[in-house]
Chain A
C-alpha cells in the first residue's frame, strides 16, 4: 500500500466522529466485498495456486476453504468481533494440520486475501484519493487484526497438538512392569528432565501401591547422561518408594555415569546398586525369598 499519502488524509477532530465515520466506511467496505464476492474469491484462489501455497490440497478444496475464509473474513470486518473467526481458524487448523500445511502457508494466504481486497479497493476508489485513504484507514487495522487472529489460531492449534504428542510420548516411555509377584521393573530410556522425573516417580509410586510391590528394580542402562538434578530425582524416587515399604535397586549405571556421580559428589549411599539388570533381578528375587533352580537339578531327586 505504497500509494497511501499521509498528507491527503483528513483528520477529524473529534474521536467519536472518527469512530462513527470508521463504522460507516466499514459498512461501505463490507457492502463492496459482498457485491464482488464471486470475483474476489476467484482472484484469491487463483493467487493461492499461483504462489504455490496449500500444495497439500486440491484446487476444489482450496476454493471451498477460500469461500468460507472469505465469508468469515467479511463477517469479522462487519461485526468487529473475532470470536467466530477464532473458532473457524481453530477448526480449519484442526483439519489442515494433519495434512501437513505449514505456518507460512496459512499466514501467506491470509496476507494474499488482504492484498486482493486492498487492490479491489484501489480499483474502486482510484478516482477519489481522499476517500481511498479513509477507506484504507478503516480497512487496514481490521484486516491486520484478522490476519493476526488466524495466524495465532493456527499456531496455537499446532502447539496444542505438539503438547498432546509430547504427553503421549512421555507416557509411552515409562512403563512399569511386573516381572514376578511383588517385583516391579522400571526401565528408563532417554533423557530425564524434571517433568519426566516427576511423572516417572508418580507412576512408580502408584504402581507400587496397586501391585503391592516389595522390590523395584530401576534400570538406567538407557540413560546416556546424568547430572546432579537427575541424580537427586533418582534419590527422591528411592526415598519415596521406601516410604511405601518398597526396596529399590538401581541397575545399569554406565562407567561414565558412575564417574560423573562420584565427581559431582552426589550422595548415593542410601541407594542399593547392582551392575546390570540381571544382577538386579537376582538380588530382588533373593530379597523376596525366591530361589531359581535349573530343572535338571530337581528331576533326579524326584
Chain B
C-alpha cells in the first residue's frame, strides 16, 4: 500500500495508515527524499500512530529517511509511536538514535516550527519563511 504524502506549507507529512511491507517502506523512503527536493521542504513528519508493531527494517528505514532528508536540507520528526511499540523497540535495542520524535502530529509541527526559528536565530536557515 502506498503511503500518501501531503504537503503542508514547508513541511511534508507522511501518514502511515496500515502495516507496511519492506517494499512499501523503501518506496516511502524514495518518494519522501525525492519530494523534499521538489517541494523545497524544510521539515518531514512521519506519522506512525497506526502502527502497532515496528520491526528492525522499519526502524532502520525511518532512521535512513531522517538522515537522508537532513542531507537534503529538511529536518525529520517521527510522531505517534505507541507506548507498547516504544517499549518493544528499546527492548530490541532499536532506539532511533539521532532522530527526533514527538508525541503526535501537532507536537511534530510545533517542533519543526521551533527548529526553523532556531535556525533563523542562528542565521543558518533560509529566510524565505512566509
Contacts of A75 in B (CB 8 A): none
Selecting from A12-20, A30-38, A114-122, A236-244, the interface stretch reads: A236-244
Selecting from A89-97, A198-206, A277-285, the interface stretch reads: A198-206
Beta-carbon nearest neighbor of B78 in chain A: A243
Interface assignment of A246: CB less than 8 Å from any CB of chain B: yes
Contact with A along B79-123 (1 / 0, CB 8 A): 101111111011100011000011100010001000000000000
Give Cα A202–Cα B102 distance, bound, in whole angstroms: 18
Number of residues of chain B lying within 8 A (CB) of chain A: 19
Contact A202–B87 (Cβ < 8 Å): yes
Which residues between 215 and 274 of chain A lie within 8 Å of chain B, taking CB atoms?
Answer: 236-237, 239-246
Contacts of B86 in A (CB 8 A): 205, 240-241, 243-244
Give Cα A240–Cα B87 distance, bound, in whole angstroms: 6
Contacts of A209 in B (CB 8 A): 82-83, 103
Number of residues of chain A lying within 8 A (CB) of chain B: 18
Q: Which of B81, B83, B85, B111 contacts A202 (CB 8 A)?
A: B83
Give Cα A241–Cα B111 distance, bound, in whole angstroms: 16
What distance in Å separates the Cβ of A268 from its nearest Cβ neighbour in chain B? 14
Contact with A along B50-89 (1 / 0, CB 8 A): 0000000000000000000000000000110111111101
Contact A243–B103 (Cβ < 8 Å): no
Contact B103–A245 (Cβ < 8 Å): yes
Contact B90–A243 (Cβ < 8 Å): yes
Contacts of B101 in A (CB 8 A): 242-245
Contact with B along A182-208 (1 / 0, CB 8 A): 000000000000000000011001101
Give Cα A240–Cα B84 distance, bound, in whole angstroms: 9
Q: Which of B81, B107, B111 contacts A243 (CB 8 A)?
A: B81
Contact A244–B83 (Cβ < 8 Å): yes
Contacts of B81 in A (CB 8 A): 243-244
Beta-carbon nearest neighbor of B54 in chain A: A243
Contacts of A134 in B (CB 8 A): none
| Further pairs besides A201-B87, A212-B103, A240-B86: 9, Cβ < 8 Å | A202-B87, A212-B107, A236-B87, A236-B90, A237-B90, A239-B95, A240-B87, A242-B101, A243-B78
Q: Could you list 25 examples of A-B contacts with CB < 8 Å?
A: A201-B87, A202-B83, A202-B84, A202-B87, A205-B84, A206-B83, A209-B82, A209-B83, A212-B107, A236-B90, A237-B90, A240-B89, A242-B95, A242-B101, A243-B85, A243-B95, A243-B101, A244-B83, A244-B86, A244-B103, A245-B79, A245-B101, A245-B102, A245-B103, A245-B107
